[in-house]
Amino acid sequence: MAWAKGPPDRVEISGPGSDNPIVITDPDLLQTFSVYGFENIRSSVDNMKFLGQGYVLTRYVKRGVELIAWDELVYYPRPFGLRGYVYYSGQLESRSTPYDEKRYLVSTEGDVAMHGILAERIPEFVLKDIVEQGFRDYVR
């Protein structure tokens, strides 16, 4: 299989508050989810705090005319206006990379896009709830 570069052809987001996956196919928005562009691989994180529930992102790429699930990440919004975290599960086929199963900060563009997508598509998604949960975790 060829190495995926650039934006995926489709992204599916699932998690709290969404019964069905949110499907992203808009080419401009997909730029934000580029492989190793959404997750800032230069900003690895050893200790992720204020996690709460995450949102699973599956990125799809075209192989010929077929869409295949390429890789998977878990996005964790963060409280207090800080960039979210992402856990990069890795590629879904047999190929592994040195970036698999590690935690990173989300790129600024990726975090802004995710907050916008979640706020627009999941009525229950409110940053206030994340902030309150983060504060409760922080004071424990």
pLDDT at position 93 is 77
**Domain chopping of the chain, boundaries:** 10-139
CATH class for domain 10-139? mainly beta
**Predicted local confidence at residue 51, as pLDDT:** 66
Beta-strand relationship, 85-91 and 66-76: antiparallel
Residues 13/57, Cβ–Cβ less than 8 Å: yes
Q: Report the percentage of the chain scoring pLDDT > 90.
A: 36
C-alpha to C-alpha distance for 30 and 6, rounded to whole angstroms: 9
Q: Structure pTM?
A: 0.81
DSSP 37-95: TSEEEEEE-S---S--S-EEEEEEEEETTEEEEEEEEEEE--STTPPPEEEEEEESSS-
Q: Tokens 């879904």 identify what position?
A: 92
Per-residue pLDDT, 31: 94
Mean pLDDT of 95-103: 78
